[in-house]
Amino acid sequence: MKIPINLASQPFRRDRAMLAGSALVGVLLLGTLGVLISLILVDRAQLADVRQDVARFEDAIRKTSAEQAALEAMLRRPENAEVLERSVFLNELLYRKGISWTKIFSDLGHTLPPNVRIMTIRPFVNKENKVTLDMTVGSMTPGAVIDFLKALESSPLFESVSAPNTLAPSQAEPLYRARLTVNYAQKL
């Protein structure tokens, strides 16, 4: 058995720097792991609070929905249906009463050309609680009706102008007539 004594056949290796660097990286990774674990725990605690809030809100929604269903069931009873219909009718009357004819005619007067005449006008409240004007206008020329439509569209008080049908003059009615529907910006 031969024991090598020559140090030149096995040169000295510098492993100390590599081991120290590896130890330092290992400590840094362990520190990062600790920070990540603490962040996970904090996040879980916050999520638990959020889950409790969501559960509380869902419970409140369920209770409110149950109350609403009970109230709607009570309103649907035959003895209460008449009162409900009457209150809806009275609310519609109040909305209609809130429409100012003076304001309507004043605003239409600013946009109405002199050669166009309003033949009928019927205001009503639509589903969005906006006043809608259903009117029939007449003129000797079709261009005047078109000018009135342009004036309504350019006015900030009127929107969504539509003319579903127009009628040419006849022997009984010598005017070009157009039926208009327009949303009016009057507040109720």
What distances in angstroms separate CA 65 from CA 23, 53, 81, one per listed residue? 62, 18, 21
Q: What is the pLDDT of residues 94-142, one digit of tens each?
A: 666 667 778 878 888 888 888 888 888 888 777 777 788 888 888 888 7
In the block, tokens 């020329």 appear at 141
- DSSP symbol at 188: -
Provide the residue ranges of all domains of the chain, joining segments of one domain with +: 17-76, 99-184
Residues in Cβ contact with 188 at an 8 Å cutoff, skipping those fewer than 6 apart: 95, 98, 99, 125, 129, 131
- CATH number listed for the domain at residues 99-184: 3.30.70.2830
Structure tokens at 11: 């040169």
Give the amino acid at 59.
Answer: D
From 41-50, 93-102, 152-161, the region with the lowest mean pLDDT: 93-102
- Has residue 32 got a pLDDT over 90? yes
